[in-house]
Chains A and B, each alone.
Chain A
Amino acid sequence: CATPQYIGGEPAASMFERVGRFAVSADIPGEPQQAAQGGFAWQDAGKVLKVDLATPMGATLARVQVQPGHARLTPAEGDEIHAATADALLEQVLGSPVPVAQLRYWLRGQLGPEPAQEVKLDEQKRPESFRQEGWSVVLSRYDTQGPRLLRLSRQEAGRQISVRLVVDASQP
């Protein structure tokens, strides 16, 4: 049978793909707010995670690739940036942490492996809100693959950090 057309990756049994928009903002009292907003294309093939960040008019700004123990960001222009984890990488680039490792679970509507607190489930027993790894997480607008609206917030050293992801409704 025809192999489904994957974007640039070989077909993987557990390929989880999501496309949508993100907004990250960290307001630090007394400092100009740091923020980023744009589109994302998320491809999680288990071992390798690839996330493309794009402008509204479609131009890819940067590509993040994560393997166990290594994360790399390739910007549209300029040199690559490397870090041990994607979380550290994005903190360096966006100025505020983005829990990429956890999002691999949260985007599928699952809790991460670490302990979670104050877990509330919706009527279909899917995680609706909880605290995990220092983040307060609200998941909503579920479809068959997972939540389509993720609102994350974190209070850390006097900074209020907000990460919001919305998954586009109709997939290609």
Chain B
Amino acid sequence: QDAAAQLRHFIENVSAASGEFHQKSADRAPQEGRFAFQRPGKFRWETTHPHEQLIVSDGTTVRQYDPDLAQVTERPANTSLGSSPAAILFGSGRLEDAFTLAALPDDDGLQWLRATPRQADAGFQYLDIGLRKQQPVRLLLRDAFDKTTYIELGGMTLNPSLDDSQFTLQVPADADIVQLR
């Protein structure tokens, strides 16, 4: 099956998942952590190394907490997910509404596609997705400055029962809460 068919299958059949990610980019030390999502719109992106940072969305509000910065930022979920990389994995609805999908040659045992945002102000050029057995395994995010971020997804548990607490954030006492414009 080609990448687009595999991705469609993933979106339609995997309504929730949890796993690990490893993230690498040219100008930053490698990061790793855990993720989880529940369609539509609930997701968790928790960086554990080399620093802690947590992003959660309960479908209504996206909250981001950074213990070092002692700050929680909040913004409406609908405006931020839109055509962000997270939307591709965690969103629901038709991918083709927000992205054009183009097949790429197989590479490293994965079938690849390129998702290019239709919206001009998506803030990144494209997201390449490498799939195997109908699961996204590797992502390549090309931003507007030609910087590339590689994200590996692993150890995925499909359709686990995820407690809502995974997608909410108890604001620590010392952190201040800030609404983003």
Q: Please give the residue numbers on chain A whose beta carbons come within 8 Å of chain B beta carbons, in ascending order.
A: 7, 19, 21-23, 25, 32-37, 39, 41, 52, 54-61, 63, 74, 76-78, 95, 149, 164, 166, 168-172
Q: Please tell me if the beta carbons of A23 and B28 are within 8 angstroms of each other in the complex.
A: no
Q: Are B66 and A7 in contact (CB under 8 A)?
A: no
The stretch that binds A, out of B12-20, B108-116, B117-125, B155-163, is B117-125
A56 and B144 within 8 A (CB): no
Q: Is the CB of B69 within 8 A of A37?
A: yes
**Contacts A/B (CB < 8 Å), 9 sampled:** A7-B27, A21-B69, A23-B178, A25-B176, A33-B178, A34-B181, A39-B28, A166-B68, A170-B50
Contacts of B166 in A (CB 8 A): none
Total CB contacts across the A-B interface at under 8 A:
118
> Contact at B64–A37, with CB atoms within 8 Å?
yes
Counting chain B CB atoms within 10 Å of each CB, the highest count among A21, A23, A57, A168 belongs to A57
Docked pose: A52 CA to B143 CA in angstroms: 12
Contact A76 B144 (CB under 8 A): yes
**Considering only CB atoms and an 8 Å cut-off, how many residues of chain B contact the other chain?**
40
Known: A23-B178, A168-B29; 15 extra A-B contacts, CB below 8 A, are: A21-B68, A23-B66, A33-B179, A39-B28, A41-B27, A41-B28, A55-B123, A56-B53, A58-B28, A59-B123, A59-B149, A76-B124, A76-B144, A76-B145, A172-B30
Q: Is the CB of B50 within 8 A of A169?
A: yes
Q: Does B168 contact A (CB under 8 A)?
A: no
How far apart are the CA atoms of A5 and B65 in the complex, in Å? 33
Taking a contact as CB atoms under 8 Å apart, the answer to whether B73 and A60 are in contact is no
A interface, over-half SS: strand
A56 with B51: in contact, given A21-B69, A32-B179 (CB under 8 Å)?
no
| Given known A56-B53, A166-B68, A169-B51, contact A77–B28 (CB-CB < 8 A) | no
Are A170 and B29 in contact, CB atoms less than 8 angstroms apart? yes
B46 to chain A minimum Cβ distance, whole angstroms, is 11
B55 in contact (CB, < 8 A): yes
CB of A172 within 8 A of CB of B27, answer: yes
CB of A78 within 8 A of CB of B69, answer no
The answer for the CA separation of A129 and B50 in the assembled complex, in Å, is 26
Q: Please, which residues of chain A bring their CB within 8 A of the CB of B23? A: 57-58
Q: Of B69, B84, B85, which contacts A23 at CB under 8 A?
A: B69
Given contacts A7-B27, A21-B68, contact A37 B180 (CB under 8 A): yes
Q: Which of A22, A35, A60 contacts B144 (CB 8 A)?
A: A60
Is B45 touching A35 in the complex (CB atoms < 8 A)?
no
Partner of A56, one of B26, B64, B143, B181: B64
**Is B86 an interface residue when CB atoms closer than 8 A count as contact?**
yes
B92 at the interface (CB under 8 A from A): no
**A21 lies within 8 A of B51 (CB):** yes
B124 and A59 within 8 A (CB): yes
Asked, given contacts A25-B71, A59-B141, A169-B50, whether A36 binds B147 with beta carbons under 8 Å apart, the answer is: no
